Amino acid sequence: MSKTEEYISRSENVILHTYNRFPVVLEKGEGVYLTDVEGKKYLDFGAGIAVFALGYHYQDYDEALKNQIDQLIHTSNLYYNVPLMTAGEAVTKASGLSKVFFTNSGTEAIEGAIKAARKYAWNKDGCTDHEIIAMKHSFHGRSMGALSVTGNSHYQEPFKPLIGGIRFADFNDLESVKAQVTKKTCAIILETVQGEGGIYPATKEFLQGVKKICEENDILLILDEIQCGMGRTGSMYAWQEYGVEPDIMTTAKALGCGVPVGAFVLNEKTANATLVPGDHGTTYGGNPFACAAVTKVFELFEKNHIVDHVNELTPYLEKRLDKLVEKYDFLSARRGKGFMQGLVVTGRPVGEILKKALENGLIVLSAGSDVIRLVPPLVIEKEHIDEMIEKLEKSF
């Protein structure tokens, strides 16, 4: 029995089988490469699902975390701590929004955003039957509130009843959103670029149109930037390319670059008229360890011009991917922005390609049922794109 077989068997003995995992046991990371327990190396174009924006062992990042471990890991939110302050300053500066609440995950950031929106509406009229409009094929997480706004019946069905008052509209179809607006609508929630649903960027007309609906009806716009944020699409937050500002933004994944942390972030109007002491809380959220990571991530993004790097390399990545679409009949399109790209596959199971890629030492992800998803660390270089293309072609 190989080490891999042994570890898989021991894991399946004790870990609840909620994932059909690839038969690989990962052990170490270095830069944009991962190594498994057999010593096999993989080029990582998945980044732990758009998490490891800076790759593994990025200079100064590990050091900052080690220092924080020596200082203080946890205090609770009953007291102030310095990393919480600096992380909050970093997020508000980068987003131009006003107030931050740190969570431990993306799904908790969504829960907080939903509560903030409902409280905002309740403050206005005291009613308890407010509605939220969400998008079909969206993904916002697995906890009950986030699941309720996730437009995927397969994920929802076994867990009903979900939270009430959710209506679904078609992404990038403004009329379908208008059709769902009622007097009770308190928020519209959407991903600026749909991730799990298959890498669909919002069109400018759509996002601007949704914003207009929100402004005209005092509805809050919640933009989920958990996957597409943190520089991935070529600006710190994808919405910054649209000239549309959310009332509430959710962020996570690359926010801590591997340390579990998320946040919901409010503009001034919303922050001043929603959650107050007693309304919301978390034991771990915003703890010094997680916030030291967040602070360092923003510092390194700025110092090393990570977002500029994404913009410099995006045309090359897109050109190489477009060439693949031209060359292979079963690739019907490329979709995406920056380092969040999808190749649409027709007539072949994506899972088989992912498996072959893994054999060839390349980690890529899927999205929806028919998309190869590429969400590499933001620090990849041209040579890594070349290597990815070569290994992907070999896997076809």
What are the binding residues for N(2)-acetyl-L-ornithine? 142, 282
Q: Which is nearer to ligand PLP, 107 or 366 (CB)?
A: 107
Alpha helices in the chain (DSSP H): 3-14, 47-50, 61-71, 82-95, 106-125, 144-148, 153-156, 174-178, 204-217, 268-271, 288-303, 306-327, 350-359, 382-395
- The annotated binding site for pyridoxal 5'-phosphate is made up of 106-107, 139, 224-227, 283
Judged by CB under 6 A, the stretch of 66-74, 78-86, 105-113, 363-371 that binds ligand PLP is 105-113
For residue 254, give the DSSP letter.
G
Residue 291 as a binder of ligand PLP (CB under 6 A): the answer is no
When asked if residue 373 is in the footprint of ligand PLP (CB under 6 A), the reply is: no
- Judged by beta carbon, residue 331 or residue 371, the one nearer ligand PLP is 371
Question: Residue 130 or 232: which CB sits closer to ligand PLP?
Answer: 232
Q: Give the shortest CB-146-to-ligand PLP separation in angstroms.
A: 7
Report how far apart the first and last C-alpha atoms of the chain are (Å, whole number): 30
Closest to ligand PLP by CB, 35 vs 143, is 143
Beta carbon nearer to ligand PLP, 104 or 395: 104
Buried/exposed code over 24-56 (b: 16+ C-beta within 10 A; e: otherwise): bbeeebebbbbebeeeeebbbbbbbebbbbbbb
Residues 222, 139: Cα–Cα separation, whole Å: 13
Task: Give the nearest distance from C-beta 51 to ligand PLP in angstroms.
Answer: 9
165 backbone dihedrals φ, ψ, rounded to 5°: 75, 25
Q: Is 252 in the site for ligand PLP (CB under 6 A)?
A: yes
CB of 141 to ligand PLP, least distance (A): 4
Q: Does 111 bind ligand PLP (CB under 6 A)?
A: no
Site map (CB under 6 A) of ligand PLP, residues 197-236, x = contact: ---------------------------x-xx---------
Q: How many residues bind ligand PLP (CB under 6 A)?
A: 16
The interface with ligand PLP within residues 123-142 (CB under 6 A) comprises 139-141
Q: Which is nearer to ligand PLP, 107 or 267 (CB)?
A: 107
Nearest-5° Cα angle at 313, 312 to 318: 125
Tokens of 48: 């732990």
Query: How far apart are the C-alpha atoms of 136 and 168, rounded to whole Å?
Result: 6
> Toward ligand PLP, which CB reaches closer, 180 or 227?
227
Which residue, 159 or 330, is less far from ligand PLP as judged by CB? 159
Q: Which two tokens stand for residue 59?
A: 């200079």
Side chain identity at residue 149, one-letter code = V
Nearest to 150 by CA among 115, 110, 122, 181: 110
Packed helices 382-395 and 350-359: angle between N→C axes, nearest 10 degrees: 120
Q: Which residues contact 100 (CB under 8 A, 6 or more apart)?
A: 87, 88, 91, 92, 263, 264, 265, 266
Among candidates 290, 105, 120, which has minimal Cα distance to 219?
Answer: 120
Q: Rounded to the nearest whole angstrom, what is the least distance from the CB of residue 260 to ligand PLP in the complex? A: 7
Q: How far is the CB of 252 from ligand PLP (least distance, A)?
A: 5
- Report which residue's Cβ sits closest to ligand PLP: 106
Structure tokens at 33: 């490469």
Q: Does 44 bind ligand PLP (CB under 6 A)?
A: no
Question: Does residue 106 belong to the site contacting ligand PLP (CB under 6 A)?
Answer: yes
**Counting contacts by CB under 6 A, is residue 191 touching ligand PLP?**
yes
375 lines the binding site for ligand PLP (CB under 6 A)? no
**Sites of contact with ligand PLP (CB under 6 A):** 105-107, 110, 139-141, 191, 195-196, 224, 226-227, 252-253, 262
